[in-house]
A and B are shown apart, each in its own frame.
Chain A
Amino acid sequence: MSAPLLEVDDVEVAYGDAVALPGLSVAVAEGETLALVGANGAGKSTLLRTVCGLLRPRRGAVRLDGDDVTALPAHARVARGIAMSPEGRRLFPSLSVEENLLVGGYARRRGPWDLAAVYELFPLVAERRSRPAANLSGGEQQAVAIGRALMANPRLLLLDEVSLGLAPVVVAQLYAALPRITGQGTTVLVVEQDVHQAMAVADRVQCLLEGRTVLEGPAERIDRTALAAAYFGVAR
């Protein structure tokens, strides 16, 4: 087996004196969808922020396709093919929906995703294209945020808490689009609190507790009871 597309090697990340990740390793193979699950404060979002370059680890390395990108700032990682839909959507409120998508394509990477492809994936977004991004519902905003990340034509797509604050039916609609994204060969790393949703879309699941991996395995073979125990940190 060749090197994984993303290799997070024993990273230690701290906010000041508070260590969030004491030394975590994560690997995602090309074309794979990995779901990181875990309770609040498990270090999932910290890991994603380290992968996309917003946080620098104190120790350890982040490698993309074997290249060490640990020292690269976030904007340069986009050019290498790492794009993220951040927690809380973070759309640009004074820009229209279409402008948000166009900023997503700022890095001008070639690939299957452009305005037309995103509009086809999310027809509702197409209808809202000229509206200010601030005037959308939560689900619409999340669709735009995913579309905006796709506009970078990433090799690795990071999705942070897609379900946050959304009704289950809306979450299901959004995740229904995922197979068409992975179908283009895109590798996906999902961080999700909604464990059922995560298990449904992922090839593999990795459960974190206090910055450490407590359980991992192929999604279809993970035992729900064991996962629940790992999630809450009981019976370790």
Chain B
Amino acid sequence: MTQLDAPRTAAGTGSVPRVRRGGRAAWAGGAGLVAVVAVLGYLPYLVSRGTQVDLVGLFALVVLGTMWNLLAGYGGMVSIGQQAYIGIGGYGLVYLAETVGVDPFLSVPVAALVCALVAWPTSYLAFRLSGGYFAIGTWVIAEVVRLLVTQVDAVGAGSGASLTAFSGIEPLYRIAFVYWMSLGIAVVVVVGVYLLMRSRLGLALTAIRDDPTAASSAGVRVTRAKRLVYVVAAAGCGLAGAMIVANTLRVQPGSIFSVDYAAIMVFVVVIGGIGTIEGPVLGALVFYLLQDSLADLGNWYLVVVGGVAIAVTLLAPRGLWGLTRGRVELFPTGYRVAVRR
């Protein structure tokens, strides 16, 4: 999308490489994205409320997948404790809207901000562990948050709470507003991560992923970059949690803090293609389309989720998006060098 000035070589003459990002696919991708968002934005005038509620679930999956991919695919951090922030986001919305009396739509970004504020000091604890032990550490933190929340009577302790702050709005409008808000959040999160990965931070993260020691000696502040990713991912998961609660109007510690969210995030990212912007979106769509047929399976539903994640990791580690073998990049984060002859 951007074309940079080609670096002047000492030779000066002859073929000058053109360094550019993306290409036709990226332009088509950008145009396509605008078109898809426009169509999705118009949907509340066309489809039933039930469909809108379903689609909010899809947007939450897109946000969760994109955030988990930012952590694992770009930051190299496998977290199985993001449900901590999903829960804080969900409970934050309920607490702010019900008890504090903040406008519920405003409460959503504020709840995400709370997640970021919690995540920042938490990262100092979690970052003392690495690799697989980091993964379990994040899980412990999620458990601690869950156990603490179940002690708080103001949010219904173990039995949870309802979101009634929307009761002043006609359900027809409420569902449409929540739908538009969720669509907007999903778009902002995906485009935001895309822009983040094109920034200096993205370059730093790619360097860290490829070789942390070399990146560190090249002046990349490894821990600071990872901490930023961790905090951003917490805020994003908080947004998703608030979306889920705004959609279902109910929050319960057992479900909002469930480790099943971790499994779903892994599935969405791995099947779509880890380490790409497009992968988690595609994975979320796949999961959303499978959801109805999986729901009939009962407990087998998560067996399939786990089994597919194992199979894809071992057999097709680049996921569905990887099947395009990098030929199509709707969201190009790298550069391409083309030599003009």
Chain A in direct contact with chain B (Cβ < 8 angstroms): no
Q: Which residues of chain B have a CB within 8 Å of any CB of chain A?
A: none
